[in-house]
Chain A
Amino acid sequence: MQEAGEGSSAVDVKDLRREYVTRSFLKKTTKVTAALDGISLRVARGELFGLIGPNGAGKTTTIKILTTLLSPTSGSAKILDLDINKDMYEIRRRIGIVFGGERGLYNRVTAVENLKYFADLYGVPPSEITGRVKKMIEMVGLEGRENERVEKYSRGMKQRLHIAKALIHDPELVFLDEPTIGLDPGGARDIRNMVRGMKKDGKSIFLTTHNMFEADELCDRVAVISRGKIVALDTPAGLKKSAKDISVIELQTYGADANFVQRIEKIGGVTRVVADLDSERQSIRVQTEFPTEVLPTIVGLAGDVNIIDKSIREPTLEDAYLRLVEE
């Protein structure tokens, strides 16, 4: 695992745990589930850090704790060298948060009114508010629409407004919780460019995502979280390197069926087979440590199955990720 350098950090988390106690009133039973099971990580100032993991792995819990919305059960967390339990309001002043999804904006008033309101709540000096709002509207490209009610906005526009809202007080550290979820490719690209812009402006960024391509493209380092534990933490390149033992054979076939896939799974050295058999033309991905030996074996097994395309490629971040979270 690669560590951020010593010195001042944007996020510094040690052995963070968060348990949920659910009580059934009638049955008088209590059940403790650990949403976070002792995670530790550090994000350097100016770094763009990604947290990836499946649904329910603890991403949102982590972000809630780091943004002071939720107390941890145990462990410590420092944001911009401030303690999340002691300096809550100071931390909030210096961070920005982009919540995922559509929630979090006042739909019945305009974008400008939303931004002014949050500028006030975040204590932006009143004389600077108009200027800041204008700048943010321009930055996220909502000029011309800024005086419309937010309810008329498309999903993508709302998300851009979310970003403007999160940056209205010029925070040092920005949390983005799945910022591109539900956006079309163009909208997602715009958001990614804004995130790059933030980094260029020297902000530290903590991002969660499902999108491996996005994590690979944007992040300096990535932590993989699974069942409340950090199972890997490295640069995207480093993570891919760790999966070097698994190359992937990609096949395009006609006539492949479940039986064929089963036979491939039985070949020695094959660790994982992912097949899409639903369409006329099937795609099969075979993970293996020994692609050059395995590929001829598959071809030998083919029989009636017509292999129209075959290739061996280096593991992607997704391959590395899938192996980590499924282990």
Chain B
Amino acid sequence: MVSRVQAVRAAARMTMKIFFADPQWIIPAIIAPFIFTLVALLLFRNETGPLLLYAVLGGGLMGMWGTTVYGSGTSITFDRFNGTMEATLAAPVPLMWIIGGRVAWNTFIGVINGGIILVIGTLWFRTGISIANPLAFTFATVVTYVSLSSFGLMLATVYVLTRQGGFIMNSLEVPVYIATGTMFPVALLPLATQPVAFILGPTWGIEAIRKAAIAGYTGLATSYWTDIGILAIETAAYFAISFYLFGRVERLAKRNGTLEEY
């Protein structure tokens, strides 16, 4: 167990170093959701009041989410392009922990990205950040961060298995913006698509964040703690699924003998 924690830490640290030494791997993961979010926020330019805070908070989550989606792919593709996939796979630690460390850092960058969008959004719209309950807001953000990391970890397995992972992930970015109610209530969507919203962590994350930040916000008919509770349960499920998928990925890679030439 100690060695696994050590591996997570080492992987996160290495990812951080590469982030500074060779930013082209993660920068696209920041820019894409950043500009996309700005475009969405521009559509709010004629609005006033709490709806603007609603929008910039949603924008922050879009930034976090977008960076996670791209970043989880980078966590793996980087090794493939760098020729270190074999060395990573040969380490005496299950792959999940190494990738976990990388995803943790990349998602952290997503939080920073979300924060920047939040600040730019509030400056732009001159709403000012007045958070109703700062403590609950911070807590909800941290839980959302952990939840996004677990989700990113799960997505990363797709990249190990196929080099079309990058494309699949890019296609997932916008649907999740739609399905999780980042910019408009889930209730506006066709009924059939709504269950998707409820199994996605970001839906509950943004609910809790908005309830903590906007006084009098109701949104879904759940309480702040119900949102946090559901988010926690889903996060645990994402970790469990990741654990299972990484086990499969490692077995599959061994059986097919295709480590680098997908």
Contacts and interface: CB of A to CB of B under 8 A. Distances in A.
B254 interface: yes
Interface string B236-262: 000000000000000100110101000
Contacts of A118: 87, 91
Interface stretch (B13-21, B28-36, B159-167, B197-205): B13-21
Given A103-B83, A120-B10, A126-B6, A108 B90 contact: no
B80 to A, nearest CB: 11
Interface stretch (B67-75, B92-100, B186-194, B227-235): B92-100
B21 A108 contact: yes
B136 interface: no
B86 A120 contact: no
Given A64-B257, A105-B84, A118-B87, A113 B17 contact: yes
A106 to B, nearest CB: 6
A209 interface: no
Interface residues of B, number: 31
A165 B88 CA distance: 12
A314 to B, nearest CB: 41
Contacts, number: 85
Interface centre among B13, B86, B98, B257 (most CB of A within 10 A): B257
Interface in A74-102: 89-93, 97, 99, 102
A123 interface: yes
Contacts of B92: 89-93, 121-123
B206 to A, nearest CB: 35
B8 to A, nearest CB: 9
A6 to B, nearest CB: 29
Contacts of A99: 86-87
Contacts of B83: 102-104
Contacts of A97: 87, 90
Interface in B146-170: none
Contacts of A69: 86, 89-90, 254, 259
Interface centre among A64, A93, A123 (most CB of B within 10 A): A123
B46 interface: no
Contacts of B2: 123
Contacts of A64: 257
B84 A103 contact: yes
A164 to B, nearest CB: 13
Interface in B43-99: 82-84, 86-94, 98
B254 A121 contact: no
Interface in A122-169: 122-123, 126, 149, 165
B127 to A, nearest CB: 40
A282 B21 CA distance: 54
Interface centre among B7, B10, B11 (most CB of A within 10 A): B10
Across the A-B interface, give the 8 residue pairs with the lowest CB-CB distance, nearest first: A120-B10, A103-B83, A92-B92, A123-B3, A93-B92, A121-B91, A108-B21, A108-B22
Interface of B: 2-3, 6-7, 9-11, 13-14, 17-18, 21-22, 82-84, 86-94, 98, 251, 254-255, 257, 259
26 contacts: A64-B257, A69-B89, A69-B90, A69-B254, A70-B254, A91-B92, A92-B90, A92-B91, A92-B92, A93-B92, A99-B87, A103-B83, A104-B87, A105-B87, A108-B18, A108-B22, A113-B17, A117-B11, A117-B13, A117-B14, A120-B7, A121-B93, A121-B98, A123-B3, A123-B93, A165-B87
